[in-house]
């Protein structure tokens, strides 16, 4: 089940909101949220639900185990708990990839190991990271291990963020799980954010997606213009798809009285790759910073050690997204430029005109998306050849011409300024700030209502379109 589906919008969400707000106490609301979250997750398969249940109960017990240890043994207990969580992630997500690469190494010896690709449980990367953040917060004594199993279950399984984030730290939400209140203002603001996210997904991401699909999946050697159209379309698709999902999750949480962290802040308007990672998938980048980069030593032990730490973090970040060398190279790609920006190049970039800095950042990000989206290394090489003009300029394929519909072109044209700069406020000077903001609020309300109606109509008529980050 996805947020932008008839099942969710027409049936699941209304039923949940009625049951949730009709329930009088916070603890009862937690049980309602837990029940609906388990139904939401089970929609993707009962086998997924079994794995999620093992993770919930197991990490509930592991946190109690860590909390009961003396200071001398807490670190070892944490190490055991994290190892168990990572082992589950490795088995389901990386076992086949590791076996394939091991076979490539030992093939000259006439040896081979079985290659098994297990079905990937929905959202396993996200709920594993949620569990690890809870365990580390308990170890660091930021929170006590919670003895209410249903509250830990709610934290791990909350359906708004269960399968694609944002990654929510337990220490930042623990008090709201047990004591929260909803107000008409929060409900209104939350639903407004949800509608904006829904419109990002349905009206922009899904509209430009065919361009990326045709170029990446149906064109063997795209020419210069076709390759750039495909990469630009994919950059918009992944931002408005994942950013739209994050906004929907944040909005639903706010309506329930919870607070999720912001996950995107106009990343394509960044002036460096360092700045980009402060704005893109902010909950993931801050998770790696606090739970990997800083424990490795951060930037406290000289330039070489800092560079190694950055590379380690982004290689892991690439692997976290998928068991493929294309993701590893994507992580190395970003890590290399982050290291470069800690040299004199970074200082020169900070003094460069904005258009130059932004152009550099977009070029790095867009070429990185080639590795991220390509199905294999050969396809990535073909796309890079097209971007460089080595495949010729050529005519567009019939599939690409068919995908270049007027509405798709319009979304491409409107999407990039929105992704880079957001929506502007009404101009100053014409009216007072109070009237200006009031007019903006009324206009915003009308626009949000119109967007919701348009999204509902579009969802009812559109084909199934899953969120991109469900695959991770």
Write the burial class of residue 376 (CB in 10 Å: 0-12 exposed, 13-18 middle, 19+ buried).
exposed
- Could you give the CA distance from residue 35 to residue 154 in angstroms, rounded to a whole number? 9
- Sequence-distant (6+) residues with CB within 8 A of 297 are 305, 309
- Could you give the CA distance from residue 196 to residue 340 in angstroms, rounded to a whole number? 36
Tally DSSP H helices, then E strands, for the chain: 22, 0
Whether 337 and 360 have beta carbons less than 8 Å apart is answered as: no
Q: 60-86 burial, b for 16+ CB within 10 Å, e for fewer?
A: bebbebbbeeeeeebeebbeebbeebe
Whether 12 and 40 have beta carbons less than 8 Å apart is answered as: yes
Q: Where are the alpha helices (DSSP H) in 179-269?
A: 184-199, 206-217, 224-255
Q: What is the number of other CB atoms lying within 10 angstroms of the CB of residue 436?
A: 16
- Sequence-distant (6+) residues with CB within 8 A of 348 are none
Task: Collapse the DSSP code of 140 into the 3-class scheme (helix H, G, I; strand E, B; otherwise coil) and give the result.
Answer: coil
- Could you give the CA distance from residue 383 to residue 399 in angstroms, rounded to a whole number? 17
What is the largest distance, in Å, between two alpha-carbon atoms of the chain?
80
Whether 361 and 287 have beta carbons less than 8 Å apart is answered as: no
301 annotated active-site:
no
Both structure tokens of 142: 């930021």
* Exposure of 223 in the CB half-sphere (CA atoms within 13 A): 8
C-alpha pair distances (Å), 455 with each of 1, 202, 350: 17, 6, 41
C-alpha pair distances (Å), 431 with each of 175, 434, 437, 439: 42, 8, 10, 10
Write the burial class of residue 441 (CB in 10 Å: 0-12 exposed, 13-18 middle, 19+ buried).
exposed
Q: Of 214, 249, 244, 254, which Cα lies nearest the Cα of 231?
A: 214
Q: Of 304, 376, 377, which Cα lies nearest the Cα of 342?
A: 304
- Sequence-distant (6+) residues with CB within 8 A of 282 are 166, 261, 262, 263, 264, 265
Task: Collapse the DSSP code of 105 into the 3-class scheme (helix H, G, I; strand E, B; otherwise coil) and give the result.
Answer: helix
Of 281, 321, 333, 334, catalytic = 321
Catalogue the active-site residues.
Answer: 321
């Amino acid at each position: 089940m996805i947020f932008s589906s008839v099942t969710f919008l027409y049936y699941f969400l209304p039923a949940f909101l009625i049951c949730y707000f009709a329930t009088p106490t916070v603890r009862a609301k937690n049980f309602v949220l837990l029940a609906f979250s388990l139904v939401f997750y089970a929609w993707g398969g009962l086998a997924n639900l079994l794995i999620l249940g093992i993770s919930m109960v197991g990490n509930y017990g592991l946190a109690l185990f860590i909390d009961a240890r003396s200071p001398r043994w807490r670190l070892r207990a944490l190490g055991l708990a994290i190892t168990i969580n990572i082992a589950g992630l490795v088995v389901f997500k990386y076992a086949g990839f590791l076996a394939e690469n091991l076979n490539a190494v030992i093939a000259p010896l006439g040896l081979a190991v079985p290659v098994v690709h297990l079905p990937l449980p929905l959202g396993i990367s996200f709920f594993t990271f949620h569990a690890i953040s809870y365990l580390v917060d308990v170890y660091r004594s930021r929170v006590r291990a919670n003895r209410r199993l249903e509250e830990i279950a709610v934290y791990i399984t909350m359906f708004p963020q269960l399968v694609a984030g944002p990654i929510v730290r337990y220490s930042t939400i623990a008090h709201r799980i047990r004591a929260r209140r909803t107000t008409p203002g929060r409900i209104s603001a939350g639903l407004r954010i949800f509608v904006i996210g829904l419109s990002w997904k349905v009206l922009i991401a899904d509209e430009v997606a065919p361009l990326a699909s045709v170029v990446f999946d149906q064109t063997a050697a795209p020419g210069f213009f076709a390759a750039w159209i495909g990469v630009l379309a994919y950059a918009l698709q992944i931002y408005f798809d994942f950013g739209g999902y994050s906004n929907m999750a944040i909005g639903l949480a706010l309506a329930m009285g919870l607070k999720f962290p912001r996950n995107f802040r106009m990343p394509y308007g960044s002036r460096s790759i360092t700045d980009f990672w402060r704005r893109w998938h902010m909950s993931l980048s801050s998770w790696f910073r606090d739970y990997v980069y800083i424990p490795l030593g951060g930037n406290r032990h000289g330039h070489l050690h800092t560079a190694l730490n950055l590379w380690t973090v982004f290689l892991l970040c690439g692997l976290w997204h998928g068991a493929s060398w294309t993701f590893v190279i994507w992580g190395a790609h970003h890590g290399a430029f982050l290291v470069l920006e800690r040299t004199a190049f970074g200082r020169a970039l900070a003094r460069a005109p904005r258009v130059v800095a932004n152009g550099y950042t977009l070029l790095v990000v867009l070429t990185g998306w080639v590795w991220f989206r390509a199905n294999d290394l050969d396809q990535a090489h073909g796309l890079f050849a097209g971007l460089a003009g080595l495949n010729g300029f050529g005519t567009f394929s019939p599939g690409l011409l068919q995908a270049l519909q007027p509405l798709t072109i319009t979304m491409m044209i409107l999407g990039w300024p929105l992704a880079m700069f957001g929506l502007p406020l009404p101009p100053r000077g014409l009216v007072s700030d109070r009237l200006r903001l009031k007019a903006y609020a009324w206009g915003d309300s009308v626009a949000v209502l119109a967007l919701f109606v348009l999204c509902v109509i579009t969802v009812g008529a559109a084909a199934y379109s899953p969120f991109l980050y469900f695959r991770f």
